Homo-oligomer: A and B are copies of this chain.
């Protein structure tokens, strides 16, 4: 929980103790095993998670195959933006790739914080901006780079994730087949 508070204080050093106290009371620690779902398609995302430890994958189903949209790791916040912000049924699945420790707050609790502690809107705004930018960067890579370039960038930017996830998940994140990633790898050795 300290990591979470540290991030909030980095964003907004003057945040009140009352707010952090309240948030601390709301946070629900969850220890979940690999392959647990935080959200499945069709359901409405009711919780925001903070990854204390572990690894989470967001993906969509395309026909029968899945397409990974992102990986979130230690000290990241995890939601499905469309479903959480608009409280609409999700396209996306959120699934743990490792046994993980998470802190969660419900959508309603977050709204309550925003109401009761207007300061919290600053924190929410800045963090939303940050995750928005991250998402833009991912989309940028998808649009601008060839298969091989995407793989190179991934290997560089996601080094700590690279060795922890299955090739087929890396492949689907890069919008490629596992075969293609296998061949790119073979070529580089």
Contacts and interface: CB of A to CB of B under 8 A. Distances in A.
B140 A142 contact: no
Interface of A: 60, 62, 67, 69, 81-82, 85-86, 91, 114, 118-119, 121-122, 124-125, 128-133, 135-140, 142-144, 175
A67 B69 CA distance: 21
Contacts of A60: 140, 143-144
Pairs of residues from A and B, 9 with the lowest C-beta to C-beta distance, nearest first:
A121-B121, A125-B125, A132-B132, A139-B139, A121-B122, A85-B129, A128-B128, A124-B125, A121-B125
Contact of A69 (B81, B122, B131, B139): B139
Copies of this chain, whole number: 2
B132 A175 contact: no
Most chain B CB within a 10 A radius of its CB, from A86, A118, A122: A122
Given A121-B118, A128-B128, A69 B143 contact: yes
Most chain B CB within a 10 A radius of its CB, from A133, A137, A140, A143: A143
B128 A139 contact: no
B144 A142 contact: no
A86 B67 CA distance: 29
A55 B124 CA distance: 30
7 contacts: A81-B132, A85-B129, A85-B132, A85-B133, A86-B133, A118-B119, A132-B132
Contacts of A142: 139, 142-143
B81 A136 contact: yes
A121 B133 CA distance: 18
Nearest to A60: B144
Contacts of A69: 139-140, 143
